Each structure stands twice: as structure tokens, then as C-alpha cells.
Amino acid sequence: MSPTRTAVRTIGVAIRAMAVFTLILGVGYTLVITGIGQLALPWQANGSPVADEKGAVVGSALIGQSFADADGEALPAYFQSRPSAAGYDGRGSTGSNLGPENPDLVGAIDERRQAIAAREGVSTEAVPADAVTASGSGLDPHISVAYALLQVPRVADERGLDEAGVRALVESRIQGRDLGFLGEERINVLELNLALDEQEGS
């Protein structure tokens, strides 16, 4: 057999093998795994969507959101998320990459602490750490219980609601530690704000 025929035959085999494996691994495998995900864990497979009382998807339980106006000012009727170096953009997960002694980071934290203390009517010492520091991903959807409770008086006053009722709603939304001992108790801000809207609407 001539070298040319051998080369052509080899190329033909390679092309057919590539086509077969593309169908098996690129298409078939993808369809099987997607199907398993949709059957076994549909909520997680679709991005852990969170819907409002009308059924409209308003976000994800895994990605934080900003509750601010067009000028970036915090909406006083809503609980606020922790800062985000990523701008809450799921396509660009990132931290600030600034060290704890970086003057820019120290200045930003101090500025946030002053602003939050003024907004909530408390001393700067009462502002929790997660209220002024961004998470490593910039997408953390949770805040600490302490930060949520700090915001209760402002949210209740802004909405004309009983403070004790808003506090009870916050406490009902507390998520425990993973596996009972990992991490800290926390609250999903989007889910809390939706529950607040639904409660007030009803």
C-alpha cells in the first residue's frame, strides 16, 4: 500500500473517530448529565433560582444582590447585603486582592463603617465585620445574624412596621451552620427581603 493511501486511510479513521467521540462525549454525555441533574436536583441544576410571590424569578439563592437605587444609595426599606468587589456580577467573581494593611482597603472599610453607623443610628463599634468587608467571591448572598438584626429598627421604621415583628421575621430566616458545625449562622438577604415584601403585602 502506498504511503499516500496509508495517510488518507489514517486521516479518514481519525475523522470518523473524532465524529463518534464528539457525539458520545460532547453530545450524549452532556445530555445524560443534564437529564440526571434535572431529575434529581432540578432547583440546583437551574442555578438555585429565587422567585417572588408572583412566581417571577428575581435572583439566585447563591448570588448576592445590591439593594440600592440608581445612584448607589442604599434603599432604606430593605436589608442591605455585604459589600462586593465584583459588583454582585456573577460573571466576574472576585475579591479586592488588597492585603489587610493596604491603606486603600483600610480607608474603604473605615468609610463604610462610618456610613453604616450613621444609617443605622449606632456607634461604629456596633457595626459587624461583614457589613464593611467584601467576601472572597464578591457574590456572598448572606449576612451575619448580627448585621441583619442591626438593620431591623431602620427597616421597621421605614415600612411603618412593628419592630418586634420584623425581628421575628429575621430570626425565622436564620440558616444554621453547615453540617451543624461549619461556618456561622447566616441569613440570605434576598430571601429575607422577599419574605418582608410578602409579609407586608399580605
Q: What are phi and psi of 159, to 5 degrees?
A: -95, -5
The C-alpha cell that represents 125 in the structure block: 463599634
**pLDDT tens for residues 91-127?**
878 777 888 889 999 999 999 999 999 999 999 999 9
Same domain as 170, residue 87:
yes
Question: What is the helix, strand, coil percentage profile of the chain, to 5?
Answer: 55, 10, 40
Same domain, 114 and 31: no
Same domain, 82 and 132: yes
My answer on whether 196 and 153 are in the same domain is yes
- Do 57 and 35 fall into the same domain? no
- State the pLDDT at residue 47: 86
At 5 the pLDDT is 78
Which pLDDT score is estimated for 28? 93
What is the pLDDT, as a whole number, of residue 82? 94
Q: How many CB atoms lie within 10 A of CB 157?
A: 14
- Smallest Cα–Cα separation from 90: which of 66, 64, 68, 72? 64
The count of structural domains within the chain is: 2
- In terms of Cα–Cα distance, which of 200, 65, 57 is closest to 143? 65
Residues of the chain predicted below pLDDT 50: none
Q: What is the pLDDT of residue 96?
A: 79
Q: Are residues 15 and 69 in the same domain?
A: no
CB 82 within 8 A of CB 147: yes
Same domain, 86 and 22: no
pTM flag (> 0.85): no
Q: Where are the beta strands (DSSP E) in 29-149?
A: 49-51, 57-60, 142-144
pLDDT score recorded for residue 202: 58
The reply to whether 92 and 8 lie within a common domain is: no
Q: Is residue 141 helix, strand or coil?
A: coil
Q: H/E element holding 186? A: strand 186-188
Q: Can you tell me the distance from the alpha carbon of 86 to that of 84, in angstroms, rounded to the nearest whole number?
A: 5
User: Hey, what's the cell of 92?
Assistant: 466576574
Where in the sequence is the domain holding 19, given as residue range(s)? 3-42
Domain co-membership, 153 together with 193: yes
pLDDT score for 100: 84
